[in-house]
């Protein structure tokens, strides 16, 4: 299963609402997770099962979708949110990730 994220990169400002999409090449029900990774750091789980908020993750992050189309939305960007975001499916093997979306400060 291939995961295609859009856009590959994005420039936005603090306070903006941002949405990243992830499209699966075949249906994966809700078996999708989202991660945030900052340079030189390990990935952090944000969302599991498409819309479940990870422990300790701020409520400005939300996930949605099922089947083949998914989204990650940040309702009001904070300075610490500028990072790279990855989607990952866990519907079956092989487990795969999207190519990543780099979110930069405008």
Partner 1 sequence: EMQLVEAGGGLVQPGGSLRLSCAASGEIFSTYWMTWLRQAPGKGLEWVANINNDGGESHYVDSVKGRFTISRDNAKNLLYLQLNSLTAEDTAIYYCARGGSTTSWYWVYWGQGTLVTVSS
Contact (Cβ atoms closer than 8 angstroms) between residue 4 and residue 97 = no
Among 13, 42, 59, 80, contact with partner 1 (rule: CB under 8 A)? 42
User: Could you say which DSSP state residue 75 is in?
Assistant: S
Q: Which residue, among 99, 82, 77, 72, has the nearest Cα to 8 in the 3D structure?
A: 99
- The strand pair at 9-12 and 101-105 is best described as parallel
Q: Which stretch binds partner 1 (CB under 8 A): 20-28, 60-68, 72-80, 93-101?
A: 93-101
Per CB under 8 A, does 79 bind partner 1?
A: no
Q: Of the two residues 18 and 33, which places its CB atom closer to partner 1 in the complex? A: 33
Per CB under 8 A, does 48 bind partner 1?
A: yes
Using CB under 8 A as the criterion, which residues of the chain lie in contact with partner 1 when the complex forms?
A: 31, 33, 35, 37, 42-43, 45, 48, 54-55, 86, 88, 90, 93-100
């Amino acid at each position: 299963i291939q995961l295609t994220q859009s856009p590959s990169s994005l420039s936005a400002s603090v306070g903006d609402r941002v949405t990243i999409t992830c499209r699966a090449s075949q249906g994966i029900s809700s078996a999708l997770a989202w991660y945030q990774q900052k340079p030189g750091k390990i990935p952090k789980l944000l969302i599991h099962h498409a819309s479940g908020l990870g422990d300790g993750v701020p409520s400005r992050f939300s996930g949605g979708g099922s089947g083949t189309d998914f989204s990650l939305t940040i309702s009001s960007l904070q300075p610490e949110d500028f990072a790279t975001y990855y989607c990952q499916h866990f519907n079956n093997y092989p487990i795969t990730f999207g190519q990543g979306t780099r979110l930069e400060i405008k």
